[in-house]
Amino acid sequence: MKNLIIASTSTIHGGSYLDYLLPVLEQHFENCETVLFIPYARPGGITEDAYTENVRAAFLKINKKIVGLHSFENPAEAIASAKGIFTGGGNTFLLVTQLYENEVMEALAKAIKNGTPYLGTSAGSNITGISMQTTNDMPIVYPPSFKTLEAIPFNLNPHYLDPDSNSKHMGETRETRLKEFHAFNSIPVLGLREGSWLDVKGESIILKGPLTARWFTQNQDPIELEPETNLASL
């Protein structure tokens, strides 16, 4: 049975790394002494070692050990034997490129399907969808494919932002960009606001956190989904 926490962000405004999720993660990884961390997205261009150390410090608060996937000679075997997996945020193009180049995309999808507890934040959440095409990130590298894990039957737009009526910014809103996506693609998209996450258990996909989420489908007006909505019904 699939068992995922898919979070919009690792850090909410005014908080420390993962603090707002730690009570949830303590339960999510309750049967895991060690969690395998995938540092490929490298936020801000930090090294995989430095990223892993940051995550290690956060997980010490719930008495969990962290080991970086990049430290294994055979990353596919490491994923297959992992008791829990966390993919952190950063650049989704880089993350997806590394997952393909290290030949672990399929292994990761299989581990999730088999019930290995998985946590994704930001880019690590983007990859749980059908494709990475609704990421907010710059295409700093060229992945072999936009196809991702298909752990959920739609795409995500983490860090979803509503239009600011007081802003003088003249660029596209997030909603405009998602309409552009739907001009060529029929995949539904969930706009996941900061501080929200999805709790996936088997086929159940429950919206968690204090905020609504915005649901986009092709040729339809977007709708707001209340917390505790089961997106599997959509």
125 has catalytic annotation: no
Local confidence band at 15 (pLDDT 50, 70, 90 cut-offs): confident
* DSSP state letter for 21: G
| Least confident segment among 7-21, 35-49, 60-74 | 7-21
> Please, what sign has the CA dihedral across residues 80, 84, 90, 91?
positive
CA angle, 37 then 43 then 44, to 5°: 150
* DSSP state letter for 194: T
Residue of 19, 71, 159, 204 marked catalytic: 159
Percentage of the chain with pLDDT > 90? 93
Q: Are 199 and 152 in contact (CB under 8 A)?
A: no
Rg (CA), the chain: 17
Residue of 122, 125, 131, 196 marked catalytic: 122
| pLDDT tens digits, one per residue of 115-130 | 999 999 999 999 999 9
Fold category of 3-233 in CATH: Rossmann fold (3.40.50)
Predicted local confidence at residue 167, as pLDDT: 67
Closest by CA position to 148, among listed 115, 120, 182: 120
Residue of 8, 137, 182, 196 marked catalytic: 137
28 has catalytic annotation: no
Straight-line distance from the first to the last Cα atom of the chain, in angstroms, rounded to the nearest whole number: 20
- Give me the mean pLDDT over the 155-167 stretch: 86
Predicted local confidence at residue 117, as pLDDT: 98
| pLDDT tens digits, one per residue of 170-206 | 567 999 999 999 999 999 999 999 999 999 999 999 9
Alpha-carbon distances, residue 30 vs 33, 86, 154, 196 (angstroms): 8, 14, 28, 21
159 has catalytic annotation: yes
Q: Is the pTM of the predicted complex or chain greater than 0.85?
A: yes
Pairing status of strand 118-121 against strand 85-87: parallel
